[in-house]
Chain A
């Protein structure tokens, strides 16, 4: 290769490597701000601010959803399987909101540690399958709970 071209190749490589390193370091330093939400463990540990609105993300605890009979108020617990945080929300929930599914709730923490949400978003996972397959998978795990004989 011609020496001038070799020199240019080195310069081009250095440009890519150094700019990547610089942006990588910035992203690493800002990692707390790039995260969209706090996991419940961080909220319980007091790492999330209580004086401004935060986002909390995790799974809705099975059997924890309580809906009001008179208005839209809903309370549920969000967990990351290390800690759980209660959430209260008065509004329309997304279609995919369900127990055992992912959720991101935005709001302020009150004195009791409950998140008073102004917005609740459903976070779905990367699994896609036809209803029959999902039913078959359910069927495989479900019989363990049923008694073998009536």
Chain B
């Protein structure tokens, strides 16, 4: 029984350290220091991934048998759309934490995620329009995928606008959290829209189960770009949160001390 006891102790210790870590994340000075060291690592990684992915996708990957070179916009379009959807869950989860536990850092996370998500959604919509013109023959069509993606943009912009509309930022965070949570229903709708309804947009090429409908030589740079965009999202989120912390804590001792030190 000794190994079982050791295992249980290890789990308990890990559990304790995990909760300590989560509690620390709620402290602005600690988060500021932690995110600072994270950004120093993440920035070069993101730039490298973006450069490698873009060069691989735009120059090395083969042209498509039907679309030729115009399909290469996929290397911006799909990563931006994927991370725009995933980023919404980050915002909504932060909103839920903010509502339930009333942690200020959760408000900051939610507030910081909204503009980043809005920009990614806008990139997905604009690149989609640019891609749609030569392939489909139109910039825009009101099909389920494109319309639900436009609603996502409005949800993100709605959170930004709603937060700014309140003088009392605690009330603002609460309203934004409710809006974010109600909006989560849109994410599976966007994802499944091409399967549930007849749409002009084609179904997903990358499949979680079974073989993808995109050739491996084109898939690998695409997956790399998706990882790069995830890194970019986290980076932008952290920088946004740090900017917000600097502004709200501009009178605090810990920040003055930090600025004085460097």
Contacts and interface: CB of A to CB of B under 8 A. Distances in A.
Interface string B143-166: 110000000000000000000000
Given A31-B197, A36-B197, A124-B202, A12 B181 contact: yes
A129 interface: yes
B172 interface: no
Contacts of B196: 31
B205 A127 contact: yes
Contacts of A130: 62-65, 215, 217-218
B141 interface: yes
A9 B100 contact: yes
B110 to A, nearest CB: 13
A123 B136 contact: yes
Interface in B82-102: 96, 99-101
Contacts of A36: 141-144, 197-200
Contacts of B204: 126
A11 B96 CA distance: 10
Interface size class of B (residues with CB under 8 A): 35 or more
Contact of A128 (B64, B100, B141, B200): B64
Contacts of A34: 144, 197
Interface stretch (A13-21, A44-52, A66-74): A13-21
Chain A interface helix/strand/loop/mixed: mixed
Interface string B186-209: 100100000011111011110000
B71 interface: yes
Contact of B202 (A24, A57, A125, A135): A125
B137 interface: yes
A133 interface: yes
A118 B100 CA distance: 54
A30 to B, nearest CB: 10
A128 B214 CA distance: 5
A96 B66 contact: yes
A66 B75 CA distance: 37
B26 interface: no
B134 to A, nearest CB: 6
B96 A39 contact: no
A20 B189 CA distance: 10
Nearest to A137: B65
B202 A123 contact: yes
Given A27-B189, A120-B137, A124-B67, A12 B200 contact: no
A20 B197 CA distance: 18
Nearest to A6: B100
Contacts of B213: 125-128
B16 interface: no
B135 A5 contact: no
B182 A15 contact: yes
22 contacts: A5-B100, A5-B101, A12-B99, A12-B100, A20-B184, A23-B186, A24-B185, A34-B197, A36-B197, A36-B198, A38-B198, A93-B137, A94-B136, A95-B137, A104-B200, A119-B137, A123-B136, A124-B135, A128-B213, A130-B64, A131-B65, A134-B65
Given A20-B185, A129-B218, 16 more contacts: A5-B101, A15-B178, A16-B182, A35-B197, A36-B142, A36-B144, A57-B200, A120-B137, A122-B136, A122-B137, A125-B203, A128-B213, A129-B64, A129-B214, A130-B62, A130-B65
What 7 pairs across the A-B complex have the smallest Cβ distances?
Answer: A94-B137, A134-B65, A130-B62, A20-B185, A129-B215, A36-B143, A128-B214
Interface of A: 5, 8-9, 11-12, 15-16, 19-20, 23-24, 27, 31, 34-39, 57, 93-97, 104, 119-135
